Amino acid sequence: MSDNENYVKEITNIDEDFAKWYTDIVRKAELADYTETKGCIAIRPYGYAIWENIQNYADKLFKQSGVQNAYFPVLIPESLLQKEKDHVEGFAPEVAWVTEAGGEKLDEKLCIRPTSETIITTMYSKWLSSWRDLPFVYNQWCSVLRWEKETRPFLRSREFLWQEGHTIHETEEEAKKRTLQMLEIYVKVAEEFLSIPVLTGIKTETEKFAGAEETYTIEAMTYDGKALQSGTSHYFGQNFTKPFDVKFQNREGKLEYAYQTSWGISTRLIGAIIMAHGDNRGLKLPPKVAPIQVEVIPIALHKDGVEESVSKIYERIKTKFRVEADFRKEVSPGAKFNECEMRGIPLRLEMGPRDIENNQCVLVRRDTFEKITVKLEDLEQTIEELLEEIQINMFNECKKRMNAKTTEAHNLEEFEHNINSNQGFIKAMWCGNKECEAKIKELTSAKSRCMPFVQEKIDTKCVCCGKEAEKLVIWGRQY
Amino acid sequence: MSDNENYVKEITNIDEDFAKWYTDIVRKAELADYTETKGCIAIRPYGYAIWENIQNYADKLFKQSGVQNAYFPVLIPESLLQKEKDHVEGFAPEVAWVTEAGGEKLDEKLCIRPTSETIITTMYSKWLSSWRDLPFVYNQWCSVLRWEKETRPFLRSREFLWQEGHTIHETEEEAKKRTLQMLEIYVKVAEEFLSIPVLTGIKTETEKFAGAEETYTIEAMTYDGKALQSGTSHYFGQNFTKPFDVKFQNREGKLEYAYQTSWGISTRLIGAIIMAHGDNRGLKLPPKVAPIQVEVIPIALHKDGVEESVSKIYERIKTKFRVEADFRKEVSPGAKFNECEMRGIPLRLEMGPRDIENNQCVLVRRDTFEKITVKLEDLEQTIEELLEEIQINMFNECKKRMNAKTTEAHNLEEFEHNINSNQGFIKAMWCGNKECEAKIKELTSAKSRCMPFVQEKIDTKCVCCGKEAEKLVIWGRQY
């Protein structure tokens, strides 16, 4: 049995047990690990480096659009959480409470933020007085806590890292524009940076954020055809600014409540990368987000001159790309290849005595396993082109799968048949009634993902009750 | 009364009530504000931008030295906190406890991390097996919580932002080297980036970190001659790796406990910047850390062509420096000057009709108030030189003060006289006895800051008991 087969045996087959395959990848690629704090993970350096790259990319886009970063307390007094009815109903059941501190029982319980609308809106009411102060376009990168019953690394962890943007505006129009502007940035992060095509649209009443007027979403599709909500942007209207008394003197000199938004993406995106791109060899990282873009592996390291020549190439290319070299003598090249594939590194560079003699090296693509022999003088140019190609090819592969796993249904039988025979997104018309939504979920375990921006009319009747249809909805089972 | 005098009247005089001056600056420069969560502040965008600049600078130095970022849970089970005796004694009295979550009482209390040695060392014991795995040189940027009784924005807040590095090594020597290497990086952050000269050395037994073998420190001096501990680096030996069972197979094939360090700097550095550099006009920011390096203020904005010409200059220089332009029509130039000084912006650029005619503008330094008329063709060059000069001048000014406020004492009378007549650092010999340290603190409110690396022998006798002296210690009152 080859090294390769041995190594791959350590990972569960992706088609046999996708959930177990997923946790195998998380742990064996050293992205994260379970901790003594139940339901909370430790993000290991390789996983965290992915998050840092996402942060840097997103933060730059945020700032270009006028976002300023800030930081608000991790603890929120119970009385603040209570102020907006829908919000407290949505979040109170899953918060963690601090009841003792500094050796004493507290007079008022403090919750660890599950999200920060309440504490931030309170501060906005202190800081806002005139329309001239507006807008506040603030964001914080932090961790939040939600006491989930079932957890899964990155996808649903009690504590997770995210950014939460909170803005207030002079007008409804400006706030709504910001809501959609942030959604567009999230599409860019997913599609251009992570090579993950996403579905975009507005959530139904049932699925929207607790306290929001409108929730917009980006939804990715996993290898096994499930939906993964990957970023949301909410328009609140004055739902929070009224109970929190955030008012300003408007241009007419009258007091008015401000219009609000919030929006977030989280380390769940790391889960999306794994689930959208991975295969039986392991993780597969798009070059833009990969902490290591090229892994340099010497062949026949014991032979004269190999270490020196390969080191030279490593030193040369690492000024231009994110590169790691693996000069371990106790590990065979085959084992290194496997490890490199497991860790999802987009390109590996092999170089042995024959290559050195011929002034060349071999590049192997993680996405297609294609081997390309390259003259050393063309090396940087070729790497650059290949990384770009891989980035695009990975997007196209996902897009192809998403298309193949998106079907239409015109009645419940068809809906059930489709979701069970080809799990994925189902396009179906809906009458707008919550009961139909609930019935579909009960029958098929599929929830409404969103009402897409592009509304085709694929039927005139609701897929569930047969009454007149109002909206095209995309449905799917979710992680 | 001029605009200027009016504005300055809003800040308490720095020589009358330094503590009140400090909180005035924090709030009026919009660095931070008090929140509904007692003892916790909200860091506003201008304050947070300072922190982001510090993070970027420090993180780059960390990574160059081989540090990798990671993330560990914010909640630590009580049983883990208990494992190292000195550590739990030091931290347990000031932690906050989560006792309820997800609607239920927890079986085991979880504390919000006051620092993460316990949870991180636990993970290290899972991940470590051979000397080949070592070192682990991990760091996390996060917030921690310590239930302080008296709080002050940035200096002593119940929640604060920091980085905590935690490393384990194969040998004592390598761990000790890392401890000092990180201290050197902190010196660089303070002196080169923040223009704050610092005293460096090792803490006495009494003052060292709970659970450490050795604690190294950088100590800044405030405007009023108090000491501000601004960063620490700890060598733990095997104090944690033994109770947490972090062992590895060494090169001889035997099991050995790893050698450990930890080190941290926090948003307290923002407090240090305010207290080391500020004056009666407000904040004074060193150019390297300043979120805005140049503030562009048009003069006679109502006159033809002013807005256009000044905009052009603004657009030109903002590609090279961090620049803000203030085109508000409802605010006078004088008020803008004051605001700009209050916010500590290193340079302001004034430009009016006469300047435009003469193809020039005026630069005003925040540190010296010097006005420099510059030909527009020399503008970028001049700004660059001035920013460098300001950076160095601010360091020199602080250094001068530190020297003037550092005195020697050979007996307790002299010690008391010095600290009361010229509050600052006191150099005095010490016998090594904890009781002398306690007595000095009781008499003078001054604590030992550190035993400096450069040990002069200024006397043969202990400043307190008169017995044979062991060490030169620097003492001071602290924030």
List all residues 6 or more positions away from B208 whose beta carbon is below 8 Å from its beta carbon: B214, B215, B234
List all residues 6 or more positions away from A401 whose beta carbon is below 8 Å from its beta carbon: A221, A223
Neighbours of B99 (CB within 10 A): 16
Would you place residue B170 in the very low, low, confident or very high pLDDT band (cuts 50, 70, 90)? very high
Best probe of the B interface among A33, A36, A125, A324, by most B CBs < 10 A, is A36
Q: What is the pLDDT of residues B30-77, one digit of tens each?
A: 999 999 999 999 999 999 999 999 999 999 999 999 999 999 999 999
> How far does Cα B275 stand from its chain's mean position?
10
Inter-chain CB proximity B73 and A37 less than 8 Å = yes
Helices (H) and strands (E) in chain B, counts: 14, 23
Best probe of the B interface among A27, A37, A324, by most B CBs < 10 A, is A37
Instruction: State how far the Cα of A116 lies from the Cα of A91, in Å rounded to an integer.
Output: 11
DSSP B328: -
List all residues 6 or more positions away from A1 whose beta carbon is below 8 Å from its beta carbon: none
A296-300 mean pLDDT: 97
Instruction: Give the closest of B42, B48, B102 to A93, CB-based.
Output: B102
Which chain B positions have a beta carbon within 8 Å of A80's beta carbon? 36
Whether chain B has a CB inside 8 Å of the CB on A296: the answer is: no
Residue type for position A432: G
Helices (H) and strands (E) in chain A, counts: 14, 23
Inter-chain CB proximity A35 and B70 less than 8 Å = no
Inter-chain CB proximity B142 and A143 less than 8 Å = yes
Q: What ipTM, to 2 d.p.?
A: 0.96
Best probe of the A interface among B63, B76, B97, by most A CBs < 10 A, is B97
Instruction: State how far the Cα of B87 lies from the Cα of A27, in Å rounded to an integer.
Output: 30
Range 103-142 of B in CB contact (< 8 A) with A = 103, 109-110, 112, 119, 122-123, 126-127, 138, 142
| Residue B422 confidence (pLDDT) above 90 | yes
Instruction: Give the closest of B43, B68, B101 to A71, CB-based.
Output: B43
Inter-chain CB proximity B138 and A77 less than 8 Å = no
Whether chain A has a CB inside 8 Å of the CB on B145: the answer is: yes
Inter-chain CB proximity B122 and A69 less than 8 Å = no
B364-393 mean pLDDT: 98
Maximum pairwise Cα distance, chain A: 83
Long-range contact list for A244-247, CB < 8 A, 24+ apart?
A244/A83, A244/A84, A244/A118, A244/A121, A244/A122, A244/A124, A244/A125, A245/A125, A246/A121, A246/A124, A246/A125, A246/A128, A246/A168, A247/A125, A247/A128
> How far does Cα B325 stand from its chain's mean position?
29
Instruction: State how far the Cα of A245 lies from the Cα of B112, in Å rounded to an integer.
Output: 31
Which chain B positions have a beta carbon within 8 Å of A112's beta carbon? 74, 98, 112
Q: What is the pLDDT of residues A114-127, one digit of tens each?
A: 999 999 999 999 99
Residue type for position B457: K
Burial environment of residue A150 by CB neighbours within 10 A (0 to 12, 13 to 18, 19 or more) = exposed
Whether chain B has a CB inside 8 Å of the CB on A162: the answer is: no
Q: Is the dihedral of CA B280, B286, B287, B290 positive or negative?
A: negative
Whether chain B has a CB inside 8 Å of the CB on A93: the answer is: yes
Instruction: State how far the Cα of B310 lies from the Cα of B290, in Å rounded to an integer.
Output: 22
Instruction: Give the closest of B36, B42, B80 to A80, CB-based.
Output: B36
Nearest residue to B295 (alpha-carbon basis) of B275, B319, B317 = B317
Q: What is the pLDDT of residues B211-231, one digit of tens each?
A: 999 999 999 999 999 999 999
Would you place residue B84 in the very low, low, confident or very high pLDDT band (cuts 50, 70, 90)? confident
pLDDT value for B8: 53
| Residue B85 confidence (pLDDT) above 90 | no
CA distance A47 to chain B (A): 8
Query: At how many degrees (to 10) do helices A412-421 and A434-444 cross?
Result: 40
Contact between B399 and B197 under an 8 Å Cβ cutoff? The reply is yes
Q: Is the dihedral of CA B99, A154, A161, B81 positive or negative?
A: positive
Would you place residue A2 in the very low, low, confident or very high pLDDT band (cuts 50, 70, 90)? very low
Inter-chain CB proximity B72 and A143 less than 8 Å = no
Instruction: State how far the Cα of A209 lies from the Cα of A194, in Å rounded to an integer.
Output: 25
Contact between A123 and B113 under an 8 Å Cβ cutoff? The reply is no
Range 60-79 of A in CB contact (< 8 A) with B = 68-77
Inter-chain CB proximity B119 and A36 less than 8 Å = yes
Q: What is the pLDDT of residues B274-299, one digit of tens each?
A: 999 999 999 999 999 999 999 999 99
Instruction: Give the closest of A49, A71, A76 to B48, CB-based.
Output: A71
pTM score: 0.97
Q: What is the mean pLDDT of chain B?
A: 96
Inter-chain CB proximity B123 and A42 less than 8 Å = yes
Inter-chain CB proximity A37 and B138 less than 8 Å = no
Q: What is the mean pLDDT of chain A?
A: 96
Whether chain A has a CB inside 8 Å of the CB on B89: the answer is: no
| Residue A158 confidence (pLDDT) above 60 | yes
Characterise A253 by phi-psi region: left (phi > 0), alpha (psi -120 to 50), beta (else). left
Which chain A positions have a beta carbon within 8 Å of B41's beta carbon? 73
Instruction: State how far the Cα of B411 lies from the Cα of B417, in Å rounded to an integer.
Output: 10
Instruction: State how far the Cα of B301 lies from the Cα of A230, in Å rounded to an integer.
Output: 47
Q: What is the pLDDT of residues A316-375, one digit of tens each?
A: 999 999 999 999 999 999 999 999 999 999 999 999 999 999 999 999 999 999 999 999
Alpha helices in B3-143 (DSSP H): 3-9, 18-28, 45-64, 78-81, 85-91, 117-127
The encoded tokens of residue A343 equal 């860790």
Instruction: State how far the Cα of A145 lies from the Cα of A150, in Å rounded to an integer.
Output: 14
Which chain B positions have a beta carbon within 8 Å of A77's beta carbon? 36-37
Percent of chain B with pLDDT over 90: 95
Domains, chain A, with CATH or none: 28-277 (3.30.930.10), 294-387 (3.40.50.800), 406-476 (3.30.110.30)
The encoded tokens of residue B198 equal 């610092």
| Residue B171 confidence (pLDDT) above 70 | yes
Which chain A positions have a beta carbon within 8 Å of B110's beta carbon? 37, 96
3-state secondary structure of A405: coil
Instruction: Give the closest of B33, B75, B76 to A126, CB-based.
Output: B33
Whether chain B has a CB inside 8 Å of the CB on A8: the answer is: no
Instruction: Give the closest of A41, A70, A97 to B100, CB-based.
Output: A97
Would you place residue A3 in the very low, low, confident or very high pLDDT band (cuts 50, 70, 90)? very low
Inter-chain CB proximity B96 and A95 less than 8 Å = no
Q: What is the arrangement of strands in the sheet containing B159-169, beginning at the earlier edge strand?
A: B68-69, B136-145, B159-169, B259-266, B227-237, B214-221, B199-202, B447-452, B471-476, B425-430, B406-408
